[in-house]
């Protein structure tokens, strides 16, 4: 699916803000402190170095908490919105040193606002960089509904036939599923593996998704009914299967689940005119895919809709829970385990190394100044 001009402009606008601050911190701030505020170049360099160290430390921390964020705006947007405000205010403050400030006061002022601006920059740039390669469940389901919508308005003809929208989650051969979910809970399934429950799967409003998509453009009464019934059926099947596929070999330690699957075609299930699950992860064999889809397939799935002014479907599902023998462990599912193993002690060690380096550098500088004084005298 191609991006609209507005989406491209919005994406580029965020990158423009990031580049502006990169120019500020790499080219302008040092000259500003030295040439305009009279701060000695050695002190100005020390400040920029200290802020750089702060940036190195804050980057993975912001990324970690961004991964764990759950909101109606997604994981990244809240951080980017807040970070943009902080960055804009801090950049103004950075160059608005009050008149009458001496060197020391100016140094403190610039340092504080430089740190705040750097934090705001990190809150924008780290989530922004992560957005390109991932998708929220709402975005994935919206893409899924787009495929169904295109099939309906094109009367299932040509490239928009059943093969277009029948793949798992609406994805076809050669496409990649990149998805991140929040782990709500997990439990053993009796054979050493673990079943994960994703928080997002508990909060899905199918009526809102399906009927909201009808606002994209007018459909005839007949096509509207076709879209609603087909969307309800395919969404229900995909979500049942997605839940059954969240199996991992090791007990999750983190709060976030990452999925990356390269999709390949598969015969799938149901009739040629109404297919489902006609794509699978390439790490799953056709036999395993058939086994798990057969186990997950409901004994009864009916979708009904009353054209009486109420935006609601009635979904009836009767199915048996699949046994552990029917469940597979797809490759490409990873759970976050903190920033790095033993991250707290690694951080403590890192700070200790920084302090030790600062002490050694101070001693070296003092010896150098003493030696220079002796030579000059």
Residues 161 and 126 placed together within one structural domain of the fold: no
Flag whether pLDDT at 270 surpasses 80: no
Is there a single domain that holds both residue 85 and residue 175?
no
Q: What is the structure's pLDDT at 192?
A: 92
Among 132, 166, 193, residue at a domain's last position: 132
> Which residue has tokens 């552990």?
324
Q: Which residue has the higher pLDDT, 44 or 370?
A: 44
Choice among 242-246, 347-351, 353-357 with the minimum mean pLDDT: 347-351
DSSP 8-state code for residue 215: G
Q: Strand pairing of 300-305 and 279-281?
A: unpaired
Question: Cβ neighbours of residue 324 under 8 Å, at least 6 residues apart?
Answer: 189, 190, 191, 193
Is residue 102 located within the same domain as residue 197? no
Largest CA distance in the chain: 98
pLDDT value of position 361? 64
Domain stop point among 99, 132, 165: 132
Q: How far apart are CA 364 and CA 73, in angstroms?
A: 51
pLDDT at residue number 339: 43
156 and 246 in a common domain: yes
Mean pLDDT computed over 178-201:
90
Q: Is 121 exposed, middle or buried (0-12, 13-18, 19+ CB in 10 A)?
A: buried
Task: Give yes or no for residue 337 having a pLDDT over 70.
Answer: no
Residue 280 predicted with pLDDT over 90: yes
Measure CA 320 to chain center. Answer: 33
Domain with 99, as residue range(s), is 5-132
For 214-254, write each residue's pLDDT tens digit. Answer: 887 788 888 988 999 999 999 999 999 999 999 999 888 77
Q: What are phi and psi of 371, to 5 degrees?
A: -65, -40
| pLDDT value, residue 187 | 93
What value does the mean pLDDT of the chain take?
Answer: 84
Q: Are residues 107 and 80 in the same domain?
A: yes
Q: How many CA atoms lie within 13 A of 348 on its CB side?
A: 4
Burial per residue of 249-260, b for 16 or more beta-carbon CB atoms within 10 angstroms, e otherwise: eeebeebbbbbb
Residue 215 shares a structural domain with residue 291: yes
Place 340 in a pLDDT band, splitting at 50, 70 and 90.
very low
Q: Is residue 130 pLDDT above 50, yes or no? A: yes
* Mean pLDDT, range 105-113, rounded to an integer: 93
Give the 3-state secondary structure of residue 258: strand
Do residues 156 and 143 touch, judged by C-beta distance below 8 A?
no
Residue 132's pLDDT band, with cuts at 50, 70 and 90, is low
Whether 99 and 144 map to the same domain: the answer is no
Query: Which of 3-12, 46-55, 143-152 has the least mean pLDDT?
Result: 3-12
Task: Kindly report, residue by residue over 308-323, the tens digit of the pLDDT.
Answer: 777 788 888 888 788 8
The total number of structural domains in the chain stands at 3
- Token pair listed for 64: 């970690």
What is the C-alpha separation between 232 and 312, in angstroms, rounded?
10
Give the pLDDT confidence score for residue 300 in this predicted structure: 87
Stretch 40-44: mean pLDDT: 89
Section 1-5 average pLDDT: 49
Q: Which pLDDT belongs to residue 8?
A: 64
Q: What is the pLDDT of residue 1?
A: 39
157-175: per-residue pLDDT in tens?
A: 888 888 889 999 999 999 9
Contacts 24+ apart (CB under 8 A), 207-213: 207/311, 207/312, 207/313, 209/138, 209/141, 209/142, 209/145, 209/235, 210/145, 210/235, 210/313, 211/311, 211/312, 213/142, 213/145, 213/146, 213/149
Of residues 282 and 308, more confidently modeled? 282
Show the tokens assigned to 104. Answer: 């020391």
Q: Is 147 a residue whose pLDDT tops 80?
A: yes
Confidence at 283, pLDDT banded by 50, 70, 90: very high
Sign of CA dihedral 40, 44, 47, 53: negative
Domain identity same for 370 and 317: no
SS3 115: helix
C-alpha atoms less than 13 angstroms from C-alpha of 85 in its C-beta half-sphere: 5
Query: Residue 288 pLDDT > 90, yes or no?
Result: yes
Please give the pLDDT value at position 72: 59
Tokens of residue 132, six digits: 């390109």
Q: Are 31 and 97 within one domain?
A: yes
Comparing 308 with 141, the larger pLDDT belongs to: 141
What average pLDDT does the segment 96-114 reach? 91
Span 64-91, average pLDDT: 82
Q: Is the pLDDT of residue 329 over 90?
A: yes
Determine contact, residues 124/57, Cβ cutoff 8 Å: no
Give the C-alpha separation, 90 to 92, whole Å: 5
pLDDT (0 to 100) of residue 346 = 60
Residue of 133, 166, 131 lying closest to 150 (CA atoms): 166
8 A C-beta contact, residue 48 and residue 30: yes
> CA-to-CA distance for 375 and 377, rounded, in angstroms?
5
Looking at residues 336-341, what average pLDDT do you find? Answer: 50
Whether residues 160 and 308 share a domain: the answer is yes
Clarify whether residues 72 and 31 are in a common domain: yes
Comparing 272 with 359, the larger pLDDT belongs to 359
CA 347 to chain centre: 25
Q: Quick check: 206 and 188 in contact, CB under 8 A?
A: no
Residue 357: which residues within 8 A CB-CB, separation 6 or more?
none
Same domain, 111 and 197: no
pLDDT at 67: 75
């Amino acid at each position: 699916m191609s991006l609209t001009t507005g989406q491209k402009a919005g994406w580029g606008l965020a990158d423009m803000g990031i580049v502006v601050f990169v120019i500020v911190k790499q080219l302008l701030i040092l000259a500003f402190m030295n040439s305009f505020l009279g701060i000695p170049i050695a002190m100005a360099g020390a400040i920029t170095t200290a802020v750089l160290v702060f940036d190195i430390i804050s980057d993975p921390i912001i990324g970690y908490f961004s991964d764990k964020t759950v909101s109606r705006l997604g994981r990244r947007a809240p951080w980017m919105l807040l970070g943009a405000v902080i960055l804009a205010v801090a950049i103004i403050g950075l160059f608005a040193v009050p008149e009458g400030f001496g060197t020391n006061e100016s140094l403190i002022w610039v340092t504080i606002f430089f740190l705040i601006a750097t934090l705001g920059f990190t809150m924008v740039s780290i989530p922004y960089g992560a957005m390109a390669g991932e998708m929220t469940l709402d975005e994935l389901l919206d893409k899924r509904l787009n495929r169904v919508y295109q099939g309906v308005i094109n009367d299932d003809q040509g490239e928009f036939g059943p093969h277009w929208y029948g793949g798992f989650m609406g994805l076809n051969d050669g496409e990649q599923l990149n998805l991140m979910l929040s782990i709500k809970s997990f439990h053993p399934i009796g054979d050493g593996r673990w079943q994960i429950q994703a928080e997002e799967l508990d909060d899905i409003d199918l009526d809102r998704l399906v009927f909201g998509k009808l606002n994209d453009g007018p459909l005839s009464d007949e096509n509207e009914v076709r879209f609603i019934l087909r969307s309800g059926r395919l969404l229900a099947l995909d979500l049942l299967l997605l839940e059954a596929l969240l199996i991992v070999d090791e007990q999750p330690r983190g709060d976030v689940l990452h999925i990356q699957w390269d999709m390949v075609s598969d015969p799938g299930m149901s009739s040629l005119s109404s297919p489902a699950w006609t794509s699978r992860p390439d790490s799953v064999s056709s036999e395993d895919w058939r086994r798990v889809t057969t186990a997950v397939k409901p004994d009864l799935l009916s979708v009904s809709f009353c054209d009486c002014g109420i935006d609601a479907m009635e979904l009836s599902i009767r199915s048996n829970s699949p046994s552990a023998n029917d469940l597979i462990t797809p490759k490409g599912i990873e759970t976050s385990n903190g920033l790095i193993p033993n991250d707290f002690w690694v951080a403590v060690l890192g700070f200790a190394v920084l302090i030790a380096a600062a002490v050694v550098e101070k001693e070296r500088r003092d010896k150098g100044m003493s030696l220079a004084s002796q030579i000059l005298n």
